[in-house]
Amino acid sequence: MIFLKTDEEVELLRESNRLLAMTLAEVAKVIAPGVTTKQLDSLAYEYIKDNGGEPSCLGYEGYPATLCISVNEQVVHGIPSDKVVLKEGDIVSVDSCVKLNGFHSDSAYTFPVGEVSPEVMTLLKTTKECLYLGIEQAVAGKRVGDISYAIEHHAAQVGFSVTHDFVGHGIGREMHEDPEIPNFGRRGNGVVLKDGMVIAIEPMVLMGRRNTIIENDGWTARTADRKPAAHYELSVCVRRGKADILSTFDYIKEVLGEKFI
Ligand code: MF3
Ligand code: CO
């Protein structure tokens, strides 16, 4: 069942997304070699709580943390740990959901830790481009497959793959609503996009092959070939002519300055 949102609901969703965007920027401030992923998780939990929100991931189907933090070959749903210490040259994907005003927001950003290789920078840049190319297609009258195709096609052109194992999704009073938004697909296929649909678009782009495996913790997905993966995600409202982007990377941009890509 797809729930179209009223203008009032869209404004509540925007508020929720703003708190999440600010939370990711707080995390961005402390990402550096020597920091543990558990430290990032603790500060995000405090920040969300201090600002009246709820961390939606915590307790979701038993998930034990506020953030999903996936390092290098980890694709998504990495569990923060005091044993995972970030080091120069890593990439770290931070994905989270917040509940505020009864509405969930969902956003992810992959950060380089210090200097990373040019190939990895290309992976980050390409994944972010995939996200914005997907968002360009999120207009009323187009179909989900138009978003999916835009994402997959751009990644493939650069020689990268996209996961088939994890998808974007509708979002609102529930963290995961219909429709699914795959990162692969065919133009003109799938659900017709309507004004007021709110969806989380989340390309996960893999430098090597697209196969993933779940680690023994039952959550962490990593690439089977152990090549790196990147993940950028924003929640958007489908409108006529142009999507309304409800989340933002602007707060992260302020923190990263000229390092923002
Ligand atoms: N953005 C992630 C997703 O849509 C958040 C999941 S929360 C978790 O899958 F609890 F499932 F990790
Ligand atoms: Co999501």
pLDDT tens sequence across 214-247: 999 999 999 999 999 999 999 999 999 999 999 9
Provide the pLDDT for residue 30: 98
Provide the pLDDT for residue 181: 98
Provide the pLDDT for residue 75: 98
**Rounded mean pLDDT of the chain?**
98
Given a cut of 70, the residues of the chain with pLDDT beneath it are none
Cβ(201) – ligand 1 distance below 6 Å: no
CA-nearest residue for atom 7, ligand 1, is 57
Cβ(218) – ligand 1 distance below 6 Å: no
Provide the pLDDT for residue 66: 98
Ligand 1 atom nearest the C-alpha of 166 is 9
Q: How far is the CA of 210 from the centre of ligand 2 (A)?
A: 19
Cβ(128) – ligand 1 distance below 6 Å: no
Cβ(59) – ligand 1 distance below 6 Å: no
Provide the pLDDT for residue 235: 98
Q: What is the 3-state secondary structure (H, E, C) of the chain?
A: CCCCCCHHHHHHHHHHHHHHHHHHHHHHHHCCCCCEHHHHHHHHHHHHHHCCCEECCCCHHHCCCCEEEEECCEEECCCCCCCCECCCCCEEEEEEEEEECCEEEEEEEEEECCCCCHHHHHHHHHHHHHHHHHHHCCECCCEHHHHHHHHHHHHHHHCCEECCCCCEEECCCCCCEEEEECCCCCCCCCCECCCCCEEEECCEEECCCCCEEECCCCCCEEECCCCCEEECEEEEECECCCCEECCCCHHHHHHHHHHCC
Cβ(177) – ligand 1 distance below 6 Å: no
Q: How far is the CA of 12 from the centre of ligand 2 (A)?
A: 18
pLDDT tens digits, one per residue of 102-121:
999 999 999 999 999 999 99
pLDDT tens digits, one per residue of 43-55:
999 999 999 999 9
